[in-house]
Amino acid sequence: MNTEQKLEMILKYSEKDFTKKFLIPLYKEMGFENLKYNHGVLEYGKDVIYSKTDEYGNKKYVGVQVKKGAIDTEIADKIFNQIARGFGKPFTDLLDNNKEKQIDEIIVLTSGDIKENARENISASLNGSIHKPVSFITGVKVVELLDKHMPSVFWEEYDNFKRYFNAMRKDFEKINDVSAIGQKEPISLEDIYVSLKVKEKIQENEFFTKNEQETSEDNGITKFIERERIFDSGKAFKEINRLVIVGVPGSGKSTLLKHFALKFCKENLENQERVFVPILIILRQLLGSGKNLEEYINEVFEKYDFQDAKDFIEKDLQEGKCVLLLDGFDELATKENLDKVVLLIQEFSKKYHKNKFIVTSRIAGYHDELNSFTKLELMEFNDEQIEKFIYNWFGKTDIQKAKSMFDCIKENEQIKALAHNPLMISIIAIIYEEDKELPQKRAALYERCIEVLLSKRDKQKKIKNKYSAEKKQFILKKLAFNLHNSNKRVMN
């Protein structure tokens, strides 16, 4: 709901109802004291009275004259007379032994606007006759105050969605997996996050002439030329409604979805309006539930502290306010499972076509099954992103350590080649923090990386594992040897 819509809403109320429904609760939220509702015959120009205490402990009494709609020149004299009566007639302070008090300030407040000529006429009448402050507040300012102090007034489901967004933020804002190993405190995702770039491969027809002097169709051939379009992942989200983002292991696919979820939670809470409602779904969990997407989404909302959300979700889905973040397409294993999930996604995205969809997968695990989606590939970190990541990792606590690590990577091309992968640079940062140096040989660095992945990662994730790191390493050696003999770099 924008400001104009909010103004339309408060303008529907009578002066009395506007005062009771909006102003009295607002003044309570703002911490004003001695609130007194006077609306009626004996108000004497003061619909509401409240007191506020300044920094010196002095109490000031404020009278509010409430109006509905626009204030124009036709009622300017009436308002001036009410202001004069408001200052002239004392009131009884029930909290101070029923003593009579004088008003120190009057506010003329309306749910509409105040015409400039009316404001000038009232000010001219006040000049020289009344020597106490008079302020004017329009409906726009009232809406601003309500947004700040009572956001649920304009957003019926605010409290429910606020719990949902805050619960999701709490779940995603700290990195609890391998990136956090070796850190004394959990790492903030948004503090360490580096914006990822994606590329789209585009095939274009291009006509080549045999004879440059002729341009006829008979004098040339058409070839398919593959080009790459490179842009920021955030820009891709804005421009494309249905995305499949593929990447190599450790390229940051899941982290990207969590970043988007956090971003939208923050925007929704700050704007006090549902810009995009993030719904993050692990596809293997969806498949294991045996439910369709509509049913499973209800479970996601329950998980994040929003009970009985079905009707609200349906409304937002119909209006296109949701972004479905579907993680781990490649983890569905069998073709039968893939086919089931593809059907679920296609049917859902067709029914709720106004919403945005992002699916993630390893490159080897996706073969254009979602043909109505645009496929983009996550790119490796470039040198600038590597530097930014390192300074994000160490910068707030130890800038010198960040500089030292970046220098180590720059000086060793073998290590630098590994650092282009977001997961690997996380592990390299962990090793550097623990060892205060990096192995100079690639094999030695690989050995330390494997140690981190096979032992400490499970402990950090609190995974119970009956196999020791040594046994897991023995099995991986066998697999690696077989892959090497088969001339394979990826295991499907």
Which pLDDT tens digit goes with each residue over 331-386? 887 889 999 999 999 999 999 999 999 999 999 889 999 989 999 999 999 999 99
| Residue 437 pLDDT | 81
| Residue 179 pLDDT | 45
Q: Whole-model pTM above 0.75? A: no
| Residue 180 pLDDT | 45
DSSP result, 25-42:
HHHHHTT-EEEEE--STT
Tell me the residue ranges of DSSP E strands in 179-256: 187-188, 197-209, 220-232, 242-247
CA separation for the pair 349, 369 (Å, rounded)? 14
Weakly modelled stretches of the chain, pLDDT under 50: 178-180
Sheet with 374-378: strands ordered across = 220-232, 197-209, 374-378, 242-247, 356-362, 322-327, 277-282
CA separation for the pair 168, 186 (Å, rounded)? 17
CA separation for the pair 442, 415 (Å, rounded)? 6
| Residue 218 pLDDT | 60
3-state helix, strand, coil in the chain (%, to 5): 50, 20, 30
Whose CA is closest to 433, among 469, 462, 390?
Answer: 390
DSSP result, 96-159:
TTTEEE--SEEEEEESS-B-HHHHHHHHHHHTTT--S-EEEE-HHHHHHHHHHH-GGGT-TTHH
| Residue 243 pLDDT | 95
| pLDDT tens, position by position, 227-237 | 788 889 989 99
Structure tokens at 221: 């051939």
Sign of CA dihedral 321, 327, 329, 334: negative
Which residue matches tokens 């120009």?
45
- 320 CB-side CA count, 13 A: 7
CA separation for the pair 277, 4 (Å, rounded)? 23
CA separation for the pair 403, 250 (Å, rounded)? 24
Contact call for residues 242 and 372 (beta carbons, < 8 A): yes
| Residue 395 vs residues 222, 387, 392: alpha-carbon distances, Å | 53, 11, 5
Whose CA is closest to 3, among 263, 266, 270, 273?
Answer: 273
Whose CA is closest to 268, among 355, 174, 165?
Answer: 165
Alpha helices (H) in 32-90, listed in sequence order: 76-88
Phi, then psi, of 54 in degrees rounded to 5: -80, 180
- In this structure, the chain runs to a length of 492
CA separation for the pair 26, 20 (Å, rounded)? 10
Phi, then psi, of 50 in degrees rounded to 5: -145, 165
The residues near 155 (Cβ < 8 Å, ≥ 6 apart) are 1, 161, 272, 273, 274
Contact call for residues 26 and 146 (beta carbons, < 8 A): yes
